Structure 1
Amino acid sequence: MPAVADVAADPAESGPLTLTSTDYDFGRITVTDEQTGDSYETDVHGYVTYPTDATGPFPVLLFQHGRHQTCETTVGQLPFPVGDDNCPDLAGVITPANSYRGYDYLVQSLASHGYAVISIDTNDINDNDGSPNAGDAGALARAELILTHLDAFREIHRNGGQGFDALMGRLDFDRVGLMGHSRGGEGVNKTVTVNAAQDEPHNLAAVFSLAPTDYNALDVTGVTWATLLPYCDGDVENLMGAFAYDAARLLSPDDTHPRFQIMAMGANHNYFNTVWTSDDWTIHGTSTDSHCGTDSATHQRDTPEAQRALGSFFMASFFRTFVGGETAHADYWTGLAAVPNTLCPGGEAAGCAGRYPLSIYASATDRLIIDSTPIDTALSQNALGGAVTLEGFASFEACTTTGRDGSGCGASDPTFTTADQLRLHWTAPAIYRSALGDLDASDFHVLSLRVGLSLDDPANDAGQDFAVVLTDTDGRSARLNASAYSTDLFAPPGDAFDSGGSEKLVLTDLRIPLTEFPALDFAHLDTLELRFDLTPAGTVQITDLQFQRVAP
């Protein structure tokens, strides 16, 4: 297996390049609501930051903020309606909410390492996109606006103009990345499909959806993609990015791009943007929730500064790896390297156990699916055609959450993983066995499965453990305890979700390097077993059993 660092490199240190940062206004365009057919105008306004003296060409990144008020009172950040126009700047009373400036900490970091970063103003769309129950929630308009900005800067790269002759020939449109926050996250997801239909599509290398909405159940394929889910999100409290991740896994079986899902256990929706200073947790949740409520003595919330630090790590390392082609930060994205200690409470890695659960669905060329648990066959046959048997369980079922309310897997409500999954309940030793049929897995590096502890079983309260057993066709077996390879086997924290609490289940990866299974013939594997004999009782939900390669 390629060497992987124990702890991922931290991209927090600024690069050596001096920067130029300039606001621009390229006029107005008409954008459209895909569902209603309504159209309206929006400014093509933002700012671009790039290295001043380096020649480039610089990979291009574009950021889009989400739905926030255009105008707000100076005291209290109360929204001040303005319709479809710019905000009057009345010092001391009313001020523009310049959300497009809220990611400057990340803009400056990436640009200092050789990237051209565009952050665009989407306030005119926010003034018009209305309720998601009456239209597409601005998804198409956001995509149209993103592509207009990219088209403009591609023309600048080719021919100059618009006051940016200094950028002619210095932008690398073979390497483009997008980040969208909240409804902007849905906007960048929509951009992927709209872009693909253009006469001259942009080469989108990677897309990061930060706490996204997914009102339109968008399909994201053909691009390396990641979503970050803030566990203490009080605005998108059902963690819609998890829906998009689950859907993207199976949309295109031959897609050669990996997908990632990160959960940040102490983060809320707003603090990634420095303009959004209110604590959105109070929209859904109570201030006394044991995990997310800041009036609770046991809360595990991140400060705004800590939240921006974690956002900067995940987004900067993602773009520098998958857009810039840098290798320094790639180890985290194998799923085998821990986050830097600077992201941990107190700066100590021991404080990070379970704080950033990660799931990886590898590219089609780097994965071998054992079972994605389709509910019609999951209890009898795996994806390889081998038999699935379940022995000793008090109960079991194949299930999926029904719709997007989190229900549907027994009484484990809410479960916001919408993928088909198995729910296994034991009160005595039990075994899940999947026949591999003399499988050759010698070219793979990792065995992974997604797992979560069901919410309705008190036996899970202290956490869980189980054994993972591989056996080859010569009868040699190797048994490993899951807890040695995952810090995520904890009961989801918080008070009851339906009462304003944070408790909810999202299945996340357990990843075991195959080198940890001693003396097996990986060219001839016979069975995979999950043995539930380490604790007296419990209930787990599992899906996505697979072998994966780890990119060097």
Structure 2
Amino acid sequence: MAIRQAREFSMIKWMDAGAARVCLLGMALALSMACSTDSKAQSIPLEEGIFSGQLHLEQARIDDTAVPNEPVIGKVKIITDPEPSQEGDVFDEPVTTRTLDVPKPDAAARFLETAPDVTSAAKYSSTQTYEYDLGNLVATASADGIDFTEAAALIAPIKGVIRFPDELSKDKIKITYPVILFLHGRSPVPDSYKGYDYLAKDLAKHGYVVVSIDAASVNNEMVTFKRPDEADIASFPPKTLQRLLPGVDINSPPPGKARIKWLLGLIRAKYASGDASSLARGQLILGTLDRLRQINQQGQKTKAGAAGPLNVLKGKLDFTRIGIMGHSRGGHGVVNALRLKDERLKTTANSLAESIRKKPDLFENYPLLVAATQGTADLAVITGSDKFKKALKAHNIFLATGSKGDGKSELYGFKGGFLLAPTYAGSDEDKPKNVPLAVLLPGCDGDVVTFDGAKAFDKNRFGAKDDQAPRYQVLVQGANHNFYNAKWTSDDASNYLEGPDFCKSNAKGNVRLSADAQRNSGLFLIDSFMRYHVGREMQFASYWNAQARLPQAACPEGKGSCDERVVLTVQKGGSHSKTIQSFNPARDGSSFNRTVVLSGIHEHALCDLPVSKPPNPFAVTTCTPEQLPAFISAVGGAPRQGFLSVADHLELSWTKIDASIVKNLGDLSAKGYDSLTFRIAVARPMDQEVEVTLTDTANQSYPITASNFSDALHNLPRRKDVDVKIPVVDHPDDEVYTEGQARIFLNMVAIPLKAFEGVDLAHLKELKLAFPKESGSVAITDIELQNFGRDELIASKTGIGLASSKKPEDKVLLISQ
């Protein structure tokens, strides 16, 4: 049963221009008040947009009448903060919206400013960390990521840690605070959910309620584990058991039932799927939100009936502004939460009873429930009994919310999803809609070595026509999988033998980030994404629109510039981008053969986007006439280095200088757009150059050197002005990787249209991409015009360039995502 979105929402809200100006003025006069007509709870007053025409996504439909009419019963305790907030460190810096590089930025420059450090200008102090246990969710696990077939119920405790602004319980104005949730991946490390406290603490200081979910119960689930069972273990010969458990002394316990149970536990722990589809992870996110919404409506109490520590959150949470981040399998859980947000998979008391009857030993922590399922196989009789109902209440168990009778479920206002080194598998037919989505790829990931995140971005980068939400791919060179979680201290990249040497921290010429440097980078990328998209803090808009440098605090040792370390790809949604050439027949038609001319190209191939859907969950790219040798790479049967993106693309190889691809534009107007963008992957050698030329209908043309505007032309973090002279000479340390041993991705080149001096942008005739190196292999896709709001940013910094309307009936399109 594939999940279908119940409905799509128009994402455009029109706001009277005069009202918008009054609202902004009111915020300037009184920062403590949100500009709202709501006489009840107001949203926390965060920064408004500086880009004219910024879009606000439609408000979520939150029906608090569906909340259980009782407080949440749970245990909450304070975890001592090793670095407690100091009373004097708040408000000690002026509140600034951006760091200005120059008074008047160059409209044709790559960067217009430097992004602000996320840790600066804190407006709040953070509480210490509260660890909570708010009951138990009945969720559903499945090994099938396509249709979620053969699903089985499990019990997932609603546990985790939470931080929020200390001022939340003291404010005199009834305002509400955005909610951010983190979900860790599958790891045997205890307390993995505590590994993102460095992110949570910073966000809490800037006005966010931050929850990190404990998903250990999902990681250890065995309800989807089919064989072997105890009877199989008893029948297995010693040779089979030793093969299943290498290095284990299988004869250690004495023969008998205890030994069989011990062996079965070891095999289950080693081979269980841990909810391979991440369905339960998605439900755990939504179930945690359900519990928080109940607290927001009814409060939180202890078992003794006293007000609990989280009772202060009553009436303080804003469920129209939610951000979620998932790491590793948690990233897949985020995707499922966004898929399920409109129409959920319902869990029932019957499905729980059935799971308990099949595998009662897996529910030994809930003895009253196990006892209530004995004596009859009739599920209706079991779940209708007082014994079963009392057991549910005694164990504080609730069911994952299902759809209402009208086919709709309560909608939470997800304003951002961040996939951190995610796993990704399942149907491509049910994409997250109308939610800004970022995928971070650690360039030296030694765990998810198939780089599923690249697939997640490529398959979700385009939404429906009315989907205005942007998508991002963030390649962090030198980062491994684990260090973003402070509890995951093992260096997966150095321990992974099949990875490239430049990812091994003990290798000569390695490009690795230290654990601290990696987390500093992650702190900026994750928190700025959340604050921009969830909190509408527009000081971060320029970075997420590819116009700002990284702040020094996000760089190794906290100094200098390091934009070569983080390669950002931006795909604007809806009307904010216009395809010139995608190399996808469904979007281009037959335009490739009619409007594209290849010169000096030795061989080429057109490759499609593999679509995973029933019955083929693992579709692979197919190319016409066939994939070029430079792009075929596999180690141990699965691609782990070489070309790892899967977007539809054009592959090119050449052996002479100045090979080129020319696109006939007819008489194309670039009105409404400010940047020419395309994605490129360099397969051979390690560095390339592209000379980009636009020509207008009057034959005026202007060439641009692409490497002046992007770090996408290097497969390692090489600074053009320091490390390498392009296009003639490669860096000497790169020579050993020139045959595809690097990890290669399609990354964005973005050139401001105003850089093409003297070209009439309203009448474009031709685009030429020329390759000055004597040989090479590259992949090209997504040649587009995009609007990154450059003119609005320049106008905000110079005070010129924006025409104000004097007509009260004029409308302004707001775009905050």
1:276 aligns with 2:369: no
Give the SS at the match of 2:439.
strand
Q: 1:395 aligns to what? A: 603
Which residue, 154, 157, 175 being the options, matches 2:293?
154
309-318 or 5-14, larger mean C-alpha shift: 5-14
Take 1:545 and 1:12, find their aligned partners in 2: how far apart are those partners? 36
| Aligned counterparts of 1:157 and 1:406: Cα–Cα separation in 2 | 47
3-state SS of 1:333 partner = helix
Query: Alpha-carbon deviations, 1:35-85, whole Å to 9, x = none?
Result: 321221111111221112244411110111110116xxxxxxxxxxxxxxx
For residues 277 and 417 of structure 2, the distance between their equivalents in structure 1, rounded to whole angstroms, comes to: 18
CA contact (8 A) 1:290 1:299 kept: yes
SS at match of 2:767: strand
Look up the equivalent residue of 1:450 and give its one-letter code: R
1:64 aligned residue (178, 183, 199): 183
Paired amino acid for 2:597: T
Residue 336 of structure 2 is aligned to residue 167 of structure 1: no
**Structure 1 residues 535 and 143 mapped into 2: Cα distance closer, same or farther (>3 Å)?**
same
Q: Tell me how many residue pairs correspond in the alignment.
A: 514
Q: CA, structure 1 residues 167+377, in 2 after alignment: closer, same or farther (shift >3 Å)?
A: closer
Asked whether the equivalents of residues 98 and 275 of structure 1 are also in contact (C-alpha less than 8 Å), the reply is yes
SS in 2 for 1:545: strand
> Could you say if the C-alpha distance between residues 537 and 380 of structure 1 is closer, same or farther in structure 2, counting changes exceeding 3 Å?
farther
2:774 match: 536
Query: Which of 1 and 2 has higher RCO (CA within 8 Å, sep 6+)?
Result: 2
Quote how far apart the aligned CAs of 1:221 are: 2.4
Aligned mate of 2:150, from 23, 27, 36: 36
Q: Quick check: 1:118 aligned with 2:211?
A: yes
Q: Find the aligned partners of 1:133 and 1:263 in 2 and give their Cα distance.
A: 31
Alignment match of 2:414 (pick from 201, 204, 207): 204
Cα offset, 1:279, TM superposition = 1.1
Q: What's the CA shift for 1:121?
A: 0.6
Residue 299 of structure 1 aligns to a residue whose secondary structure is coil
* Kept in 2: contact 1:29–1:42 (CA 8 A): yes
| Separation (CA, whole Å) in 1 of partners of 2:587 and 2:432 | 26
TM-score (norm. length: structure 1): 0.87
1:261·1:359 contact (CA, 8 Å) conserved in 2?
A: yes
Residue aligning to 1:522: 761
1:378-457 alignment to 2 at 5 Å? Answer: 381-382=591-592, 387-400=595-608, 409-411=627-629, 412=631, 413=633, 414-428=642-656, 429-454=658-683, 457=684
- Name the % identity: 34
Q: 2:528 pairs with 317, 323, 326, which one?
A: 317
- The match for 2:576 among 354, 359, 366 is 366
The Cα RMSD (Å) is: 2.8
Unaligned runs of 5+ in 1: 71-96
Tell me how far apart the structure 1 counterparts of residues 621 and 506 of structure 2 sit (CA, whole Å).
27
Structure 1 position 509 matched with structure 2 position 738 = no
- CA distance in 2 between counterparts of 1:127 and 1:190 reads 19
Residue 145 of structure 1 is aligned with which of 275, 281, 284?
Answer: 284
1:378 is displaced (CA, Å) by: 7.2
Q: CA deviation at 1:400?
A: 4.4
- How far, CA to CA, are the matches of 1:388 and 1:286 in structure 2? 39
Structure 2 Cα separation of the partners of residues 466 and 132 of structure 1: 48
Pair 405,299 (structure 1): closer, same or farther in 2 beyond 3 Å: farther
What are structure 2's unaligned runs of at least 5 residues?
1-49, 52-104, 106-110, 142-147, 226-269, 302-307, 345-408, 611-617, 634-641, 718-733, 793-817
**Aligned 8 A contact 1:406 1:415 in 2:** no
CA displacement 1:192-251 (0-9 Å, x = unmatched): 011111521101010101000003255232200001010111110121111010001235
Structure 1 CA distance, aligned partners of 2:123 and 2:455? 39
* CA deviation profile, 1:354-385 (whole Å, cap 9, x unmatched): 31111111111210011121268979615xx9
Change (3 A) 1:282 1:291: closer
The whole-number CA distance in structure 1 between the counterparts of 2:149 and 2:775 is 49
The alignment status of 1:248 with 2:460, answered yes or no, reads: yes
Rounded Cα–Cα distance in structure 2 between residues aligned with 1:8 and 1:487: 18
CA contact (8 A) 1:11 1:317 kept: yes
Deviation larger for 6-15 or 332-341: 6-15
Asked if structure 1 preserves the Cα contact closer than 8 Å seen for 2:193 and 2:215, the reply is yes
Which amino acid in 2 is paired with 1:141? A
**Per-residue deviation, 1:524:** 1.3
User: Structure 2 vs 1, CA of residues 512 and 326 (structure 1 numbering), >3 Å: closer, same or farther?
Assistant: same
**Whole-angstrom distance in 2 between the partners of 1:291 and 1:259:** 29
CA contact 1:10–1:329 (8 Å) conserved in 2: no
2:561 aligned with 1:468: no
Q: Which residue of 2 aligns with 1:267?
A: 479
Instruction: Tell me, in whole angstroms, the C-alpha distance in 2 between the residues paired with 1:516 and 1:473.
Output: 18
**Aligned residues of 1:440 and 1:524 also touching (Cα < 8 A):** yes
Structure 1 Cα separation of the partners of residues 651 and 157 of structure 2: 50
Give, as a single letter, the amino acid of the residue that structure 1 aligns with 2:768: E
Of the three residues 439, 444, 452, the one matched with 1:227 is 439
CA deviation map 1:323-358 (0-9, x unaligned): 0000112211011212123333455545x2531111
Is the 8 Å Cα contact of residues 292 and 301 (structure 1) preserved in structure 2? yes
Query: 1:123-142, aligned counterparts within 5 Å?
Result: 123-128=216-221, 137-142=276-281
SS at match of 1:19: coil
**Equivalent residue of 2:295, what SS?**
helix
Q: Which amino acid aligns with 2:132?
A: Y
Question: How far apart, CA to CA, are the structure 2 residues paired with 1:390 and 1:127?
Answer: 54
**Which residue of the other structure, out of 122, 126, 134, is the alignment partner of 1:19?**
126
Matched with 2:201 is 108
Q: Which residue of 1 aligns with 2:714?
A: 490
- Tell me by how many angstroms 1:133 deviates: 9.5
Q: Which amino acid is the alignment partner of residue 255 of structure 1?
A: D
Pairwise CA distance, 1:160: 2.1
CA distance in 2, matches of 1:271, 1:191: 25
> 1:188 — aligned with what?
334
1:231·1:263 contact (CA, 8 Å) conserved in 2? yes
Provide the residue aligned with 2:564 in structure 1.
354
Following TM superposition, by how much is the alpha carbon of 1:134 offset from its aligned partner in structure 2, in angstroms? 5.9
Structure whose residues are more often strand by fraction: 1
What whole-Å deviation, never above 9, does each CA across 1:496-529 have from its counterpart, x for those lacking one? 99x9x96221110000011101122211111111
**Aligned counterparts of 2:271 and 2:471: Cα–Cα separation in 1:** 26
* 2:784 aligned to which of 542, 546, 551: 546
Structure 2: which amino acid aligns with 1:475?
N
Distance 2:573 2:587 in 1: 24
Higher mean displacement: 201-210 or 219-228: 219-228
Q: Choose the corresponding residue for 1:297, options 508, 519, 523.
A: 508
State the alpha-carbon separation in 2 of the partners of residues 379 and 31 from structure 1.
Answer: 44
Question: What's the CA shift for 1:293?
Answer: 0.7
- Greater per-residue helix proportion: 2
Describe the shift of the 1:243–1:286 C-alpha distance in structure 2 as closer, same or farther (beyond 3 A). Answer: closer
CA shift digits 1:129-159 (9 cap, x unpaired): 6799969515110111111111111222223
Taking structure 2 as the reference length, what is the TM-score of the superposition? Answer: 0.59
Quickly say closer, same or farther: Cα 1:212–1:132, change in 2 above 3 A.
Answer: farther
Aligned to 2:808: none
Residue deviations 1:105-146 (CA, integer Å, cap 9, x gap):
000000000000011110000001679996951511011111
Query: How many Å separate the matches in 1 of 2:697 and 2:133?
Result: 67
SS at match of 1:328: helix
Equivalent residue letter for 2:601: F
